[in-house]
Amino acid sequence: MLKGSFVALITPFKNGKVDEKKIRELVEWHISEGTSGIVPVGTTGESSTLSYKEHARVIEVVVRSVRKRIPVIAGAGSNSTDEAILLSREAKKLGVDAILSVNPYYNRPTQEGLNAHFSAIARAVRIPMVLYNIPSRTGVNLLPSTIIRLAKENKNIIGVKESTGSMDQTTEIIEALGQQFTVISGDDSLTLPLMAIGAKGVISVVANLVPGAIAEMCSLALNEEFHAARSIHLSLYPLIKAMFLETNPAPIKAAMAEAGLIRDASLRLPLVTVTSGTLEKVKAAMKKYGVGRIELNVPGKGGSRG
């Protein structure tokens, strides 16, 4: 299930409210472009500033739009274990294929606390679960030893979105757990290196803008055609770096607005749109890669990869 290019879908807004029509259009476009799966209400989807009602509604719109054509893995994490269980139960009820559960942030739990947190969720909600290890956002690293323990003791913990930037950490996990456990990149610039040592794909930010390219690179890497995959990686690298000049998802939303994929690049406070200087750098990276205006592939309309 967890293989290839999964898009960490943005949450588009219109007049300050979730733009459900645009979500549906984006889902159709991603399916037509070869995206392997959709990940709504993650970090890129601004889950931290959505209300509970909005959070559930975004998942519902995505699930209904996808119609089982590709997997949906919904963000359902929290720094409160009880809240994470509540969100996970709601996601399961809405029909997702799996949940993505981030390290508890702010609390800074010990490794024993992390084990207890994720084990409690796995026991309470019998649904495939992907751990999300991103110390830069959460302040705590889920160590390989803890991940290995969690995977061995909880059959529904099937993988980890690895966003530590550590090749060694990924290697330790894959060496211990083999191909039955899925490591998937959480960092676009490290997707190909991680896949070279056994990761199975990416939950991607830049796929919001160039889904076809990320899908092709992942497919080539999965088939061990690394020379061709490397060519795509190198051409994408400047664009990837531009998407993180400011806090995600501000740059990717700005890029999508420039490409015509969304009209409104606004974010929920305390996140704000990119500065004019960053916008110029984003536009330059888009031009260098060759991203122009993109028409969404929606029913009844034509489309272009841009």
CATH code (residue 40) = 3.20.20.70
- Is the CB of residue 201 less than 8 Å from the CB of residue 5? yes
Is position 161 annotated as part of the catalytic site?
yes
Residue 210: closest CA among 197, 224, 191: 191
55 belongs to a structural domain: yes
Query: Which pLDDT score is estimated for 305?
Result: 39
User: Of the residues 22, 92, 132, 289, which is catalytic?
Assistant: 132
pLDDT, tens digit, for every residue of 148-183?
999 999 999 999 999 999 999 999 999 999 989 999
Is position 52 annotated as part of the catalytic site?
no
Q: How confident is the model at residue 302 (pLDDT cuts 50, 70, 90)?
A: very low
Whether 132 shows a pLDDT value over 50: the answer reads yes
86 belongs to a structural domain: yes
Q: How confident is the model at residue 298 (pLDDT cuts 50, 70, 90)?
A: low
Instruction: Characterise 224 by phi-psi region: left (phi > 0), alpha (psi -120 to 50), beta (else).
Output: left
Average pLDDT, the chain: 95
Buried b / exposed e over 151-178, threshold 16 CB at 10 Å, is: beebeebbbbbbbbebeebbebbbeebe
Specify the residue for token string 């740059």: 251
CA distance 249 to 244: 8
Q: Which residues contact 26 (CB under 8 A, 6 or more apart)?
A: 9, 10, 12, 208, 261, 296
User: Of the residues 22, 92, 161, 200, which is catalytic?
Assistant: 161
277 belongs to a structural domain: no
301 belongs to a structural domain: no
248 belongs to a structural domain: no
Query: Which pLDDT score is estimated for 241?
Result: 98
144 belongs to a structural domain: yes
Assigned token pair, 142: 């889920």
213 belongs to a structural domain: yes
CA distance 202 to 214: 9
Q: How confident is the model at residue 34 (pLDDT cuts 50, 70, 90)?
A: very high
Whether 296 shows a pLDDT value over 60: the answer reads yes
Query: Which pLDDT score is estimated for 135?
Result: 94
pLDDT, tens digit, for every residue of 64-91?
999 999 999 999 999 999 999 999 999 9
CA distance 39 to 21: 17
Whether 300 shows a pLDDT value over 80: the answer reads no
**What is the domain range of residue 185?**
4-224
93 belongs to a structural domain: yes
Assigned token pair, 220: 């080539």
CA distance 56 to 91: 7
What is the domain count for the chain?
1
Task: Report the percentage of the chain scoring pLDDT > 70.
Answer: 97
Query: Which pLDDT score is estimated for 297?
Result: 59
Q: Which residues contact 181 (CB under 8 A, 6 or more apart)?
A: 151, 158, 159, 160, 173, 174
pLDDT, tens digit, for every residue of 191-242?
999 999 999 999 999 999 999 999 999 999 999 999 999 999 999 999 999 9
